[in-house]
Chains A and B, each alone.
Chain A
């Protein structure tokens, strides 16, 4: 957690530290669907584009359905900075795409993109 008060101790804290947030590199530049987009179909393309090249074999897209059940999406080939897949058999309700990625320089990041299906 990045809480400013943790830094109060800076005058006497060489050995102990607050396990601050974490490592970061790949961030989302664009995505399909967009965050909070509403989709009127039972199928959609899923594409997350990052600011850096990613190691696809060590990255993952997971689709979480309205009921909470999750499925790992198979990744298709594509540009070096994207994770690409398809989600099908969608029903009405709120879905989340959880992504985790390893950038080529060795940094892991994760996040989620939430969208809605309404037909």
Chain B
């Protein structure tokens, strides 16, 4: 139970992200089939059946996800309060999850039954969305409730129509005859523009309400996450815009290549998913307006992120770290904790220096990786540069020594003994993964691994890892310090998303200017990540 309480926060954010994804796919598909903008006649029987199947499976996934969310919350309540089962079912949030689960089941049922049940499925989908608002911030607010309800509804519907609609667009595009592709592209442009407009309008309204004042955009965790989401949105709009242009080209030349359209759409799905998980993380944060006293000022933010030379390449003495010191009790306890969160152990100046040193060296490895990957473009340097994945081994070795200061060879804990601590065990497992990952990509670069899927491991891993960096759940004990850490890690995550998807594009696109740009973007993104780590500061 204790373990469940500890991981509940993370579990919940991940589950919410999963639910938002399944929900967007379900509703996006329904919108795609139901909105008059998609000409019925032009969507062939094959495409239609495929779309229906995707809606069915997403609705089923949503049904399961909501049931799981209800069970997790119930389990949590019974574990921490010892309430009987009947009492748990009365919780507003449990009821909402269960109702949403039932409605998702209804969508799945209608879509798999007779074709004329499609409008019924659409109606169930709308009810589902309305129910879902109960699990957002809007439900527990004390004022502007009605406006926030409408805004949350429009926001989620906009996301579903746009991002959730892309896979259906790909299905339609794949099944369409050469001549009707431009119709498909043009129609989807129209619906997605409507989705974007809804999403933006509602988003701005909610941001204004939840933030309270513009300073919260950089001064509070909620604002920083929101800024990150806006960054992802900007990337999505860029991709959408390029697709719009490609779609227009198709109009003049119906035989033109649709492959670029497809590749950009794939990336839109990936970045869209990241944004959804980012949104899930956002629901785990109290709105910035409620934490007016725990803000960082502009000066504090600048102080923290401004690159400063020299970087820290000399480690503080291990004996000076607080793991080597007797523990003291902190007299000023914070006002609230997130579930599972406990008071942070004390940190002294040497602890901070230790961590900065770790980040700075890791940054050098990442920078080197980016530079080598860039050098691979030069024919003379390529024979050496193509071995860049081996820098992962250096990084892993470094982390092995430094990541857990209380463990052998530097600390007092033995290697085997330390694995009993779940956090240390996780770190060790990650180090193993980093080594495997580096060796794997190395063999891919050398052409020794020929499986068609092998090259995609690198971009997908990078993109997913970066998404996780955005999705982590938040503590409450020290909101300001947490925010200052976030403001240094969020750009890192965004750069990681860009790196992952640019590499994906390089692999997927046909030769041309777009592919060449993508092939430069990802090494540059790695270089940026390296620099961000190198200039990372913790105080």
A18 to B362, CA, bound (A): 18
Chain B residues lying within 8 Å of A109, measured Cβ to Cβ, are 336-339, 476
Q: Is the CB–CB distance between B76 and A57 below 8 Å? A: no
Given that A10-B468, A52-B140 are contacting pairs, would A22 and B461 also be in contact in the complex, using a CB cutoff of 8 Å?
Answer: no
Taking a contact as CB atoms under 8 Å apart, the answer to whether B290 and A23 are in contact is no
Chain A contacts with B in 12-32, Cβ cutoff 8 A: 12-29
B93 touches A55 (CB 8 A): yes
**Contact call B335/A55, Cβ cutoff below 8 A:** no
Answer whether residue A74 sits at the interface, using C-beta atoms and an 8 A cutoff.
Answer: no
Contacts of B12 in A (CB 8 A): 23
Residues of B whose CB lies within 8 Å of any CB of A are: 6-10, 12-13, 69, 73, 76-77, 80-81, 83, 87-88, 90-94, 96-97, 134-142, 283-287, 290-291, 333-342, 344-345, 355, 358-359, 362, 366, 392, 395, 399, 403, 422-423, 426-427, 429-430, 433-434, 437-438, 460-462, 464-466, 468-469, 472-477, 482, 485, 488-489, 492-493, 496, 529, 533, 536, 538
Distance from A50 Cβ to chain B, minimum over Cβ atoms (Å): 9
A24 with B489: CB separation less than 8 A:
no
| B93 pairs with A105, CB closer than 8 A | yes
In the assembled complex, the CB of A52 is this many whole angstroms from the nearest CB of chain B, namely: 4
- A4, A18, A29: the one contacting B485 at CB < 8 Å is A4
Point out the residue from B69, B333, B403 that lies within 8 Å of A8, measured CB to CB. Answer: B403
Closest-by-CB residue of A relative to B435 is: A12
Contact A27 B290 (CB under 8 A): yes
In the complex with contacts A21-B474, A22-B340, A11-B433 CB distance below 8 A: no
In the complex, are the beta carbons of B338 and A22 less than 8 A apart?
A: yes
Q: Are B291 and A27 in contact (CB under 8 A)?
A: yes
Provide the bound-state CA to CA distance between A52 and B286, in Å.
9
B91 and A24 within 8 A (CB): no
Nearest 5 A-B pairs (CB), nearest first?
Answer: A22-B9, A106-B93, A21-B475, A52-B140, A22-B338
Task: Assess whether B335 is in contact with A35, with CB atoms less than 8 Å apart.
Answer: yes
Q: Can you list, as one digit per residue, whether each of A86-117 has a CB less than 8 Å from chain B (1) or not (0)?
A: 00000000000000101111111111101000
Tell me the smallest distance from the CB of A72 to a CB of chain B, in Å.
10
CB of A73, distance to nearest CB on chain B (Å): 14
Bound CA span A109–B473, Å: 13
Bound-complex Cα distance A52 to B287 (A):
10
